[in-house]
Amino acid sequence: MPHLIRVYVRLVDRISDWVGYLAASLIFVMGATLIFDAFTRNVINMPVHWAIELTQFTLAAYYFMGGPITLKNNSHVRMDLWYANLSERGKAKMDLVTVGCMIFYLCVMLVGSISSLQYAIATGERRFSIWNPSVIPIKALLTICLVLMLLQSFALVFKNIATLRGERL
């Protein structure tokens, strides 16, 4: 494979790792927020209305940011009925087909997320609740993570092509 493709794959893999580790740390943010909510509600009898919504937003960020590293590490859910019995080249061929479908899906999702983000920015969209937070940050994060998943998908394409050519990336 050309040097530029090798650099691309390494860079995207590194970014996916970094974002994935950052996502993993969000578990502690969610836990701390829920403990704080339980403490203020049950111990000092002063419930905070934003804690549960912040946890929901953090959970959304957690799974958005976890997508690229899941693809990179090949730890996503797959039907292994036939796949497990394939050779490395057979798996690479099957992965090229499924990654192609995923790229199409991610492109559709990206178009929708960009449209949704533009609408949120234009209208100053907020979530209807007591806390009333802006949804712009989470929609922007979704868009960024979809771009990163697309970049990781193309890295997978290159890795599978390298496998078919008998190379390693």
Work out the average pLDDT over 34-40.
95
Work out the average pLDDT over 50-58.
94
Cβ-contact 150, 110 below 8 angstroms: yes
Cα–Cα distance list, 121 to 11, 58, 153 (Å): 31, 20, 28
Per-residue pLDDT tens over the stretch 94-113: 999 999 999 999 999 999 99
pLDDT score at 82: 83
Per-residue pLDDT tens over the stretch 122-157: 999 999 888 899 999 999 999 999 999 999 999 999
Cβ-contact 117, 139 below 8 angstroms: yes
- Give phi and psi for 44, each to the nearest 5: -105, 5
Whole-model pTM? 0.90
* Assigned token pair, 85: 């019995």
Q: Say what percent of the chain tops pLDDT 90.
A: 85
Whole-number CA gyration radius for the chain: 20
pLDDT at residue 4 tops 90: yes
pLDDT score at 3: 94
* Of residues 11, 164, 3, the one with CA closest to residue 93: 164
